[in-house]
A and B are shown apart, each in its own frame.
Chain A
Amino acid sequence: MSQMSAAFLILAIVTMVAACAAMTLRGLVHCALALAVAFAGIGTLYLSLGAQFLGLAQLLVYVGAIAVLIVFVILLTRGGESDASPLIPTGLPITGIVVATTMLALLAWAVFHSFAIHSLGPPATPATVRELGTVLMAEYVLPLEVIGLMLTAAMIGAVVVAMKEKQDTQ
């Protein structure tokens, strides 16, 4: 524990608390705002790990776009009224919690039995935006174009799916 910086611990705790709040709170709008805090926490975790560009991209895309989009959809669907259903009503959600806890135990076991707790190379030097741009434009230019095409297709598809249908459809 001594090798981990205090900033990382604080950011991780804030992110965890916000994620738990996003998944357990009653009001849907409160959930969305807690989710924005969790996304911002993850972005600052990226920053503390030395991935500046990715951290800022995370802040822009998740906090700026996706969280706001989720708030919009909540307001469009139910007007922000709270989730009336009880959190743990019957058998099925208990199964879900058990499955998630088992998954956590399995993952933690795997981490503590992997090479991750022993070997440590020197940490990578933080990549500058210039290096990233060069790599993105030289080595990964084809995936970049494909991603652009996919984003366009997803945008058009989302608009088409969410568009109001005509009244005289069969």
Chain B
Amino acid sequence: MTPLAGCLLVSSLLFSIGLAGALTRRNTILVLVGIELMLNAANLNFVAFWRFGHNAGVSTGIIFGLFSIAVAAAEAAVGLALILAVYRHTKTTDLSLLTGRAQ
């Protein structure tokens, strides 16, 4: 296995773990955590393709990863603020209670 394929495999494993968590957990905070893991998997792909890709030498991959980290930070801040606002109204962070499925 070449290093690029190894990186891509690690990244897809991480993405699948995040996806499984985001789809199965019932706590909104943990769903956000799963989304963060998926974003990190995408970032790992940027770095892997920068390091081992055809256009090696151009630092586009790192720049894109940097911007992606900034966007993910903003997304996490706003998402956690939304969770706090929803918790203040409903006193719960359980998704199945929030959607009224298990009431």
Chain B residues contacting A38 (CB-CB under 8 Å) are 37, 40
Chain B residues contacting A168 (CB-CB under 8 Å) are none
- Please classify the interface of chain A as helix (H, G, I), strand (E, B), loop, or mixed, using the class held by over half of its residues: helix
What string of 1s and 0s marks CB contacts (under 8 Å) between B59-71 and chain A?
1001101110111
- Please classify the interface of chain B as helix (H, G, I), strand (E, B), loop, or mixed, using the class held by over half of its residues: helix
- B18 to nearest A CB, angstroms? 7
- B87 to nearest A CB, angstroms? 5
- Check B30–A31 contact: CB distance below 8 A: yes
Closest to A107 in B: B12
- Check B14–A19 contact: CB distance below 8 A: yes
- Check B24–A97 contact: CB distance below 8 A: yes
- Determine which of B14, B23, B26 lies in contact with A99 in the assembled complex, contact meaning CB atoms within 8 Å: B23
Binding site for A on B (CB under 8 A): 1-10, 12-27, 29-30, 32-34, 36-37, 40, 43-44, 47-48, 50-54, 56-57, 59, 62-63, 65-67, 69-78, 80-85, 87-88, 93-94, 96
